[in-house]
C-alpha cells in the first residue's frame, strides 16, 4: 500500500473518530458505548496504520508503547506477544537501523490484537456499569413505591415493635403505625449506605479505563441502603429472622435501621471486587492475566 493511500486512510479514521466523539452526549450512544468505542476504534486503527508510513526513528520510539500495550492485554502465550518480546525484548539500546520492514508488520499485528482485547475488556466494564445503573433504577422505584405505600397506608408496612404500653415505631411510641415510619427508616438507611459508600470510595482504586464504575457503584449502594433498612425491619418484625422481639427505645430502633443501611456493604462488597477485576482487565497499566 502506498504512502498516499495509507495517509488518506488515516485521515478517514480521524474524521470518523471526531464524528463518534461528537455524538457522545446522546443517551443511547452513551449506554451502548457506540460513541466512545467508535471513536477509540478509529483512533486505534489510525495509530496502527501509522506504523506503515512512519520513519524508522518514530517506529523505533513506538516500540516501548507497543510492548506495554501487548503485555497489558495479550496473554503471555499469545503468539503475537511472544514474537514481539522475542524480537525486541525490553527495547533497550534499540536503534532506528535495527527496525526492518517486517518489524512494522509484526508491531502492527501485535498492536491490533492488543487493541481488540482492550475493546473487549472495556465492553465488559460498560455492560457491568449498565447493569449497576439498571439495578439502581429498579431498586429506587421499588423502595419509592414501598415508602409511598407506608405513608398512605401505615399498616401495610409494619415497621413497629412491641414496646412499653404500645408500639415502638421509628417515629416514637404510638398505639399504631404512622405515615412517617417508612420515610424515617428509608432516610436512616440512606445515611448508613452513604457512610458505607464514602468508605468504599476511600479504599477504591480507580484505574485508567474508558468507563468509570465509581459513580454507578455509589448509586447502587445508596439505593440498597433504604431497601435493606426497610425490608430488614419488616423481616425482623415478622419473626422470620433472628432478632429482637421487643424494642423499648426509639434510638435503638433508629440505630438498627442505620446499621442495616450500612450493612448493605455485605451484599455489594462482591460487586466492588467484581468491578476491580473488570477495571484491571481493561486498564493498560495492569498486566494481562496469565
- pLDDT of 177 above 90: no
C-alpha cell at 128: 457491568
C-alpha cell at 163: 414496646
CB atoms < 10 A from the CB of 178, how many?
Answer: 20
158 within 8 A of 246, measured Cβ to Cβ:
no
More confident position, 203 or 11: 11
- pLDDT of 190 above 90: yes
pLDDT in tens, 215-243: 899 999 999 999 999 888 888 877 666 66
- pLDDT of 275 above 80: yes
- Distance between CA atoms of residues 48 and 128, nearest Å: 29
The DSSP result for 188-222, as a single string, is: HHHHHHHHHHHHHHHH------SS--HHHHHHHHH
pLDDT band, residue 24 (cuts 50/70/90) = low
- Distance between CA atoms of residues 53 and 32, nearest Å: 34
Residue linked to cell 449497576: 132
CA torsion sign, 198 to 204 to 207 to 213? negative
Which residue from 80, 152, 88, 150 is spatially nearest to 115, judged by alpha carbons? 80
What average pLDDT does this structure show over 192-205? 80
C-alpha cell at 151: 405513608
The set of long-range contacts for 6-9, using a CB threshold of 8 Å and a minimum separation of 24, is: 6/49, 6/52, 6/53, 7/53, 9/46, 9/49
- pLDDT of 1 above 70: no
Cα 193 to Cα 58, 114, 188, distances in angstroms: 52, 39, 9
* Predicted local confidence at residue 96, as pLDDT: 78
C-alpha cell at 215: 459513580
* Predicted local confidence at residue 246, as pLDDT: 65
* Predicted local confidence at residue 10, as pLDDT: 85
- pLDDT of 120 above 90: yes
Q: Determine the 3-state secondary structure of 154 from DSSP.
A: helix
Angle CA(262)–CA(265)–CA(271) in degrees, nearest 5?
A: 155
CA 6 from chain centre, in angstroms, equals 37
Reported pTM: 0.84
pLDDT in tens, 134-159: 999 999 999 999 899 888 988 888 88
CA 131 from chain centre, in angstroms, equals 9
Amino acid at each position: 500500500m502506498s504512502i498516499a493511500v495509507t495517509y488518506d486512510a488515516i485521515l478517514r479514521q480521524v474524521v470518523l473518530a471526531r464524528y463518534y466523539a461528537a455524538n457522545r452526549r446522546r443517551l443511547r450512544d452513551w449506554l451502548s458505548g457506540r460513541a466512545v468505542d467508535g471513536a477509540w476504534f478509529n483512533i486505534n486503527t489510525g495509530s496502527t496504520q501509522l506504523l506503515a508510513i512512519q520513519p524508522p526513528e518514530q517506529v523505533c520510539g513506538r516500540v516501548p508503547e507497543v510492548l506495554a500495550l501487548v503485555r497489558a492485554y495479550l496473554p503471555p502465550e499469545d503468539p503475537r506477544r511472544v514474537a514481539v518480546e522475542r524480537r525486541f525484548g525490553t527495547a533497550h539500546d534499540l536503534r532506528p537501523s535495527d527496525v526492518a520492514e517486517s518489524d512494522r508488520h509484526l508491531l502492527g499485528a501485535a498492536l491490533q490484537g492488543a487493541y481488540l482485547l482492550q475493546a473487549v475488556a472495556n465492553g465488559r466494564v460498560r455492560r457491568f456499569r449498565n447493569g449497576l445503573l439498571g439495578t439502581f433504577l429498579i431498586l429506587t422505584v421499588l423502595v419509592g413505591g414501598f415508602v409511598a405505600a407506608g405513608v398512605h397506608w401505615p399498616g401495610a408496612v409494619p415497621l413497629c415493635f412491641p414496646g412499653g404500653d404500645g408500639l415502638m415505631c421509628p417515629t416514637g411510641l404510638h398505639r399504631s403505625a404512622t405515615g412517617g415510619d417508612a420515610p424515617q427508616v428509608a432516610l436512616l438507611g440512606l445515611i448508613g449506605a452513604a457512610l458505607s459508600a464514602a468508605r468504599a470510595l476511600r479504599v477504591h482504586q480507580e484505574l485508567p479505563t474508558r468507563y468509570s464504575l465509581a459513580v454507578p457503584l455509589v448509586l447502587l449502594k445508596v439505593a440498597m441502603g433504604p431497601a435493606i433498612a426497610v425490608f430488614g425491619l419488616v423481616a425482623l418484625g415478622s419473626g422470620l429472622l433472628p432478632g429482637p422481639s421487643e424494642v423499648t427505645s426509639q434510638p435503638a430502633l433508629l440505630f438498627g435501621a442505620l446499621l442495616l443501611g450500612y450493612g448493605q456493604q455485605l451484599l455489594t462488597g462482591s460487586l466492588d471486587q467484581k468491578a476491580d477485576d473488570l477495571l484491571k482487565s481493561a486498564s493498560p497499566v495492569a498486566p494481562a492475566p496469565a
